[in-house]
Amino acid sequence: MGQVTAITANTTTVTAITANTTTVTAITANTTTVTAITANTANTTTVTAITANTTTVTAITANTTTVTAITANTTTVTAITANTTTVTAITANTTTVTAITANTTTVAAITANTTTVTAISANTTTVKAISANTTTVAAITANTTTVTAITANTITFAAITAHTTTVTAITANTTTVTAITANTTTVTAITANTTTVTAITANTTTVTAITANTITVTAITAHTTTVTAITTDTTTVTAITANTITVMNVSASSVITIPTSMISLLVSGLVC
């Protein structure tokens, strides 16, 4: 969409880019509690081997945000000869994502044996009272928590062609981007499951081998947000004399890394 016929003394400045922040603040994991097992008269409770409450997380790749192509804020200028255009704060032509809900992964309460991350108080097994004629506990191997690999909160920007400008003739045009502050993804609290067995009353309870309460999460790739194409905010100026374009503050929804080779793409890209 864009062709630049003649540009004399054009300046593009990006002064500050602050990148994305991903925070996982508190995760409290599973609790298994057996508060009371009360047996009847002549009751026999035999537990030969209990391997209980095993939680295994092998790989969690969570909270992926992918922006594949943003072609935004098209400005077309046909002829410019000696005016000044100053944009101090762009809102309509700016993409700002301050608090992401749809694009944010928030797990408030997970039912069905979820294992979690930063502060793990995991897998507590408590047998408070067993009142029985015969109680035999041969071996209890309890409450194993394994977190193998957690790769969390990946943000990928594949291609951003933003603020395209097609200009026929520009003499002494200046483009300045003073501050770009990118998105923040925050997962504040994940509280996992609680399993409670309050009372078991039985005449005869015989448990030969219990491998109980095994939670295995092999691969979780959760909460993917994908923005495939945004084409917004077209500005067309047909006659402007001697243009200076100043963008004082842009709050963008992405981290833009602009190498030196991409400066010409951002100038010619502002049109497409």
| DSSP collapsed to 3 states, the chain | CCCCCEEECCEEEECCEECCEEEEEEEECCEEEEEEEEEEEEEEEEEEEEEEEEEEECCEEECCEEEEEEEECCEEEEEECCCCEEECCCCCCCCCCCCCCCCCCCCCECCCCCCCCCCCCCCEEEEEEEECCEEEEEEEEEEEEEECCEEECCEEEEEEEECEEEECEEECCEEEECCEECCEEEEEEEECCEEEECCEEEEEEEECCEEEEEEEECCEEECCEEECCECCCCEEEEEECCCCEEECCECCCCCCCCCHHHHHHHHHHECC
Q: What is the pLDDT of residues 161-193, one digit of tens each?
A: 445 455 555 555 555 555 554 444 444 444 444
Q: Is the distance from CB of 182 to CB of 252 less than 8 angstroms?
A: yes
- 260 within a domain of the structure (yes/no): yes
> Six-digit token pair at 227?
């923005």
- 42 within a domain of the structure (yes/no): yes
Q: What type of residue is 215? A: I
Tell me the average pLDDT across 134-138.
Answer: 48
Instruction: Tell me how far apart the alpha carbons of residues 199 and 131 are, in angstroms, rounded to a whole number.
Output: 11
Asked if pLDDT for residue 129 goes beyond 50, the answer is no
Instruction: Count structural domains, the chain.
Output: 1
Tell me the average pLDDT across 99-124.
Answer: 39
What pTM was estimated for this model as a whole?
Answer: 0.19
Residue 14: CB atoms within 10 A of its CB come to 19
75-80: strand order across its sheet: 165-167, 75-80, 235-240
- 201 within a domain of the structure (yes/no): yes
Domain boundaries, position 42: 6-269
> Six-digit token pair at 26?
């508190």
- 1 within a domain of the structure (yes/no): no
Cα dihedral across residues 183, 266, 178, 233: positive or negative: negative
Asked if pLDDT for residue 75 goes beyond 50, the answer is yes
- 263 within a domain of the structure (yes/no): yes
Asked if pLDDT for residue 117 goes beyond 50, the answer is no
Q: What is the pLDDT of residue 19?
A: 52
- 103 within a domain of the structure (yes/no): yes
CA of 185: how far to CAs of 3, 60, 106, 225, in Å? 38, 17, 9, 12
Q: What is the pLDDT of residue 44?
A: 53
Q: What is the dihedral of CA 91, 95, 101, 106, to 10 degrees?
A: -130
- 110 within a domain of the structure (yes/no): yes
The closest of 203, 157, 202 to 183, measured between CA atoms, is 157
Q: What is the pLDDT of residues 185-229, one digit of tens each?
A: 444 444 444 444 455 554 455 444 444 444 444 444 444 444 444
